[in-house]
Structures are given as C-alpha cells and as structure tokens.
Structure 1
Amino acid sequence: MNTLQDKAVGSLMGAAVGDAIGGATEGRSAEEILHRYGGYVDGVVDYFMPDWRTAKPMSPYHKGEGHVTDDTLMTNLLVSVYAKNRRHLTAFDMADDLVPLMMTQVTWIPELEKETVPLLRVFLAEKWLVTRLHYGHVDPREAGVGNVVNCGAAMYMAPVGIANAADPDGAYAEAVEIAGAHQSSYGREAAAVFAAAVAAAMAPDATVDSVVAAALRLARDGTRSAVEACVSAARPGQDWRKAIPLMRNAVRPFDSVGETYREPDQDSRRPSRLRSIEEVPVALGLLVVTGGDVRKTVLAATNYGRDSDSIATMGGAVAGALGGEASVPVEWVETVGTNSRLDLRSTGVTMADVAQEIFTSDEAAWQRRSEAVATLSGATVGGR
C-alpha cells in the first residue's frame, strides 16, 4: 500500500513532468504536433518553434526540453503557502501569502532562462490575482469575478487535494474557497473538481473509477456534463492515440474557446452555467483510457495539444497520486528536475507533512464538536 508521503510525492511529481512534457506542444493542434515532431511525442522533446525568443514577443518562453511552465510555478507557490500556515487555506491566504510570493520570491524560471519573480512569467489570468488583491484591495472571496474564465486556478490545485487526502468533499470546498480569489464560474468549478479528484486518488484503495465517481458526484453544471461526456467517450484500455479525437469531440460542445486555440471565439472564456474548461474533463477521460498510467496519460495529453501542459499536469497529478512515486517515469523526473532546476520530490514531502498536521487538527476539532453535541443532546460522550 502506498503511504501518504508516497502518494503526495507521486502526485506533484506527476504534475510537474506532465507540465514540462506537455508544455512543448501547448497551443498546437494534434495534426501540427504530428507534423512538427514527425510522429507522436514520446517524452521530453525540444521547443516547437526554433525562433521561440522572437516569434511571440508577448510570451517569449522556451517551452520544451523539460522546462516546467507556470502550472508548476503556481503549484509550488501554493505548497509554500501551505507550508507556512499548516492548516486549511482561505481566499485571504491567497491575498496575504500567495500574491506577495508571486511578486517578491525570486526563483529560476526555466522558460525565461533566468531568475526573476513568478509574476513576470504567469499568464494575464494569473496576473489578475496581483491586480485585484494587491493593487485593487478587492475582497479576496470575490476577487475572481470578472477575470478570464479559464483553467488558471485549476492548474495548481493539486496541493489542495493532498491537504484533504481521501476527502474529496473537503478538497472541493477548500478549492472553491481559495479559487474564488482567482476565478469565477466554471473556472472556479473546475478548480474544485480537480482538487476533489486528487483527494479521491489519495485514498489507499483509490482507483480510476473511484476518482471519476467522486468528480461526477461533486461537479456541477456544464463541468459535470463535460466530465460525463468525456468519461463516456473513453474506452478503457484503448490506445491513447485513438482516444485523442474522441476526447476532443466529447468536450467540444462545452468548450468556449473554439477550434483554433490561438484565435478564441468571440464568446470564449465568459461566465456560463453551460460551459466547462476543456482541461479537467479531458484529463479525466484520458485517465479512464489509460487506466491511470502516468506515462500514457501524460503522452496522451501532450499529443492532444491545445492546453496540453495543463491537461498533462492534471492527468499526471491524479495518476501519480494513484500509483505513487514509483509510477512516475524516473527518466522524466531526472530530466525535468535537472533542466528546470527543481527538486521534484521535496514539494510532495512537504505537502504530506502538512496534510498529516491538518488531519490531526481536524480530528481534534471533530472530537471537540462530538463532545459538544453529545452534551447538548444529553448523551454520554462517545455514546450513541
């Protein structure tokens, strides 16, 4: 049986290698990926565009070659917030702790090939946190309203699932709370569902089926419908290559971005109760196809394209939690760790320690409540 630490390490390792490998193909179609690499991507590959420094002046990022993206940068910042507070988090912790780290914590940014603050790497939807919370002084519980509705909050919610290990309901509630500082509508919902999926995968007897069941039980509105569609389209044991168009077809009615990922439709990324982000449903569908295999899930997400780094991050996080550290390909861990200058194990160890402390605190709080309710009902403490 995997231990709490083993599952936590596996989850965050899986997320990081998924992010780094999927990053190379982000924003591309499955057809473009096949053409560029002469076939399916089967591991760490080099950049998609040789002229990456100048091709996109607004985002001159060196993707590929084992470089993690903002998904992992934000995940690691959230781990730091948990490590400082060592309790369940609220939207106010995002304002008090996460935002200052984004603005001041100098770290190596692999895609920029230099040390600087994470704020200078993250996408506009994540810069929103700083604009609204630091400069706008908005109530953290409402700061996500008005932002681009995307996967920005969902992509770094794996630590919430670990903090609430084996309690998907608790993970869902905590993610809804803290993601409110960042996202609204189906972007916030996706963050909660992803956190719940990781929490479900942290259970000792977890399976892909139990993870999907938890996600479907908790998901609401278009997110639930999209997850249901992708899972229904998935064929367990199918070659993941054949599953890619099936997943795209399944999620298409719910995805607001449109067919050309880099040219979003006019009504994209707006609040809706009928829409869903693409990443969480597709990641869960691919997990069903691969049986929760980390390697296959990450490669399927990478070759799916579009927001491939986030799909691979989410799929890798859940699969890594299911299988533990040994399920994450060691050659990927070594390459990504070296090329991104990261210790991919330490964040999982930290989160496992924090999760144990949180559980101990929760257990004590539940005991106090049990005693209070027993007194109120006239029962003997511990009695029926």
Structure 2
Amino acid sequence: MNWIRERATAILAGSAIGDALGGATEGFSPAQIQERYGSRVGGIVPPFYENWKTQRPVSPYHKGDGHITDDTLMTQALIKVYAKKRSHLDAFAIAHDLVPLLQTDFWWVPEFERESILLQRIFLAEKYLVLRLQYGHIDPREGGVGNAINCGAAMYMAPVGIVNIGSPARAYDEAIDMAGAHQASYGREAAGVFAAAVATSAAPGATVESVIEWALSLAHDGTREAIAATVAAARELSETATDDEIGTALRDAIRPFDTVGEKYREPNMDARTPSRTKAIEELPVALGLLVAYNGDFRKCILGAVNYGRDSDSIASMVGSIAGGLGGTEAIATDWYEEIQAASKADFDHYADLITEVAEQIIDEDLKEASQRIEVLQSLRPSESVLL
C-alpha cells in the first residue's frame, strides 16, 4: 500500500469511527453520558434514548449501534465531487457539484435505516447550502453569509487535507474558498484550519507538535486563541490526570470562546452568530484532546465521545488527525469492521477514490511547481532556485 493510500485510509477510518461512536453521546453532558451507560463509554453503544424514533421529532435519527452520521456522509459526498472534478476545488464546485448531489443521489442512511437523498438527513445549517445556492442563486463565495455559525463546513473537510498532504497552507486556502459556500466567520475559519491539520498529520515525519504548530500559524482571531487555550490546558495537565479531568480542563478552556453555552440543546440567545472573538467548540477541543492523549487513536476518540456536546464532530475531527499521524497501524480495526457492517458502508471504496484523485492532483501540482520554478529562475537568473 503506498503512502497516500495508507494515510487516506487511516484518516477516513478515524473520521468514520469517531463519528459513529460519538453519535450516541451527542448533545449530552459527561454526567448524563455516565448515568445513561453506567460508566464512561468505551466503544460502540446503543442509542442514548431507546425510543429514538419519537424522543426528538426534529431529528429522529438512530444514532449509536455503530451508525455513521451526516459528518461521514458529507465527507463521502465531497469525495464524490473530487472524483468528478479531479482537481482542486472551490466554492463554485460546492454550488455546481455538491449541492445537486445532495438532492439527487440516493444513499443508505444508517440513522434512517433506509435509502434517502442526503438533503433529508443533513441538518438545518447544512440545508442552507441548498436554500442559498440552488434557490437563492447567491454567489457561491458568499453563500455561507447569514447561516448559523457551526462546524457544518469543517466536519467534512478531511478530503481537502488528503489531496493537499504536506501542504497545510494550500489545504487551508482551498478549504476556506470551498467553505465560503456554506459558512462564514469562525465556522469558515475552522474548516480551513481543520483541513490544514489533516494535511499536516499525513505528511511523512509529522507529529502532534507539528500539527499544532501549523494550526496556530494559520488560524486567525478567536479560532487561534481558542486553539491556543485548549492546547495550553492540555499541556498543563499532570501525567496522572484522569479522563474526566482532561475533559473538564478542555471545557473550561474553550468556554470563553464558545457561543452555544452550557446547555448544548438550549443554546444562548447570541449563539452561532458571527464574531472575530469566538470559535466553534469542536476543532479546538479536538486539538486539545490530540495533545492530552499524545495522538493515541483510541484514547483521543473516546475522550471526544465522553466529552459529550457535539461529540460526533469532535471525535470525527480528532480521529481524522490521529489517523493521519498513526496510519493504518493505529486504526482500531474491531470498531472499524463493526461500524462498516452496521452502517452498510464500504469505506475502502472512498479511500480508493480519494487516493486516485490525490495522486492526480499531486502530479499536477508538481508540474505547476516546476513551471513556477522556471519563471522564478528567469526573474532571478543569478540566484539558485531549487525545486
């Protein structure tokens, strides 16, 4: 297995595993999670509510039992767009290729236990893509303006990191462009930083520290400050800190930047509004967990699952990055196989697709870099410019 294929497999596996495990605990506090399951969650568990079909009519989803959620489905949809375009993407690709796919392609949706178009599964802030771009005919680069600011764009940006392995700045720029069709403000910023973190993690020689360094170097405003705060909190923990203490420390660190508030299902009046001082909770906490558990695949994911709140997205993000760092050797294969079976998903298919596209894009990037070197050499003939 070549390097790109191996890292793509691990990144997508980490994303799907985190998503599936975290789905069961999404929206709840650590105390509620432990009360429901009798202890910290240690793997795949049943839904939080046994009567999941009727407990929350606005989102009657069968979370838990190894079912992937919209995070993974949107990631797979983006891979399909890459496979179609076979090039770097921008906001126009989101409008012209992703939005129609959401409305026409039928998928097996594990949480519905049936086939459906993705538009029926994605939640309100993601449906905004269709409202603005399909019906509002908004310039795709401005499509995300006015949306509720959340992690909706960031949650499916792992493929951007894969096609830009080793080029975090380019991954950031590409994701920022694409995410403009979906999100604004710190939601858009998180999409760029997450893509950069994945691109860094999958490069040869990458470490937890190199991921954090690149994230901090590229992030702006509240997003940068929030990442710095959670990472600092993780580094200040003692070696004997318990899992619960880690979760508490990270929640304390992100609190000043989080607009949602203490009750995740009862958000503050000013929640999810644009700001230069705030950040989504998911990415900074994911990076804090990465530091706290030194990139350990299982521990990072379980830390996110038991953190609660938007646990599926946090676990998906940290799972992607931990997978990029550890490669296929790090994958929890027991979880992976059970989730594939429960979700009726073929994760290898998407790893093959994005690998093929990434290899093609990297070849084109090499040609472009060679041409750029020639231009630079002609401008500075007395200087030695090396590729």
TM norm structure 2: 0.96
Asked if the contact 1:240–1:289 (Cα under 8 Å) also holds between the matched residues in 2, the reply is no
Tell me by how many angstroms 1:55 deviates: 1.0
Asked if the contact 2:162–2:354 (Cα under 8 Å) also holds between the matched residues in 1, the reply is yes
Asked if the contact 2:373–2:386 (Cα under 8 Å) also holds between the matched residues in 1, the reply is no
- What RMSD in Å do the two structures reach over aligned CA positions? 1.6
Counterpart amino acid of residue 101 in structure 2? L
Aligned partner of residue 273 in structure 1, secondary structure: coil
Matched pairs, number: 384
Which residue of structure 2 lines up, in the alignment, with residue 345 of structure 1?
A: 348
Counterpart amino acid of residue 71 in structure 1? D
1:256 maps onto 2:259 in alignment: yes
1:304 maps onto 2:336 in alignment: no
Counterpart amino acid of residue 89 in structure 1? L
Which residue of structure 2 lines up, in the alignment, with residue 329 of structure 1?
A: 332
Q: Distance in 2 between matches of 1:241 and 1:345?
A: 34
Which residue of structure 2 lines up, in the alignment, with residue 213 of structure 1?
A: 213
Cα-to-partner distance string for 1:302-339 (whole Å, 9 max, x where unaligned): 00000000000000000011111221111111111001
Identity %: 54
**Unpaired runs of 5+ in structure 2?**
none
Q: Distance in 2 between matches of 1:90 and 1:239?
A: 43
Change (3 A) 1:381 1:39: closer
Tell me by how many angstroms 1:383 deviates: 7.9
Change (3 A) 1:292 1:378: closer
Q: Distance in 2 between matches of 1:378 and 1:231?
A: 45
Tell me by how many angstroms 1:350 deviates: 2.0
Over 4 Å off, 4+ runs: 376-384
Counterpart among 355, 360, 363 of residue 357 in structure 1: 360
Q: Distance in 2 between matches of 1:362 and 1:74?
A: 26
Range with bigger deviation, 350-359 or 299-308: 350-359
Counterpart amino acid of residue 317 in structure 1? S
Aligned partner of residue 107 in structure 1, secondary structure: strand
Which residue of structure 2 lines up, in the alignment, with residue 62 of structure 1?
A: 62
1:87 maps onto 2:90 in alignment: no
Q: Distance in 2 between matches of 1:37 and 1:381?
A: 63
1:17 maps onto 2:17 in alignment: yes
1:313 maps onto 2:316 in alignment: yes
Change (3 A) 1:37 1:89: same
Change (3 A) 1:37 1:265: same
Which residue of structure 2 lines up, in the alignment, with residue 291 of structure 1?
A: 294
Q: Distance in 1 between matches of 2:191 and 2:337?
A: 29
Q: Distance in 1 between matches of 2:254 and 2:376?
A: 46
Tell me by how many angstroms 1:150 deviates: 0.3
Asked if the contact 1:371–1:381 (Cα under 8 Å) also holds between the matched residues in 2, the reply is no
Q: Distance in 2 between matches of 1:138 and 1:12?
A: 31
Tell me by how many angstroms 1:164 deviates: 0.5
Tell me by how many angstroms 1:349 deviates: 2.6
Aligned partner of residue 141 in structure 1, secondary structure: helix
Counterpart amino acid of residue 275 in structure 2? S
Aligned partner of residue 115 in structure 2, secondary structure: strand
- Where do 1:1-384 residues align within 5 Å? 3-235=3-235, 238-377=241-380
TM norm structure 1: 0.97
Counterpart amino acid of residue 338 in structure 1? A
Aligned partner of residue 28 in structure 1, secondary structure: coil
Q: Distance in 1 between matches of 2:324 and 2:243?
A: 20
**Unpaired runs of 5+ in structure 1?**
none
Q: Distance in 2 between matches of 1:298 and 1:2?
A: 26
Change (3 A) 1:368 1:121: same
Tell me by how many angstroms 1:86 deviates: 1.1
Range with bigger deviation, 338-347 or 236-245: 236-245
Asked if the contact 1:2–1:204 (Cα under 8 Å) also holds between the matched residues in 2, the reply is no
Cα-to-partner distance string for 1:146-186 (whole Å, 9 max, x where unaligned): 00000000000000011100111010000000000000000
Asked if the contact 2:33–2:306 (Cα under 8 Å) also holds between the matched residues in 1, the reply is yes
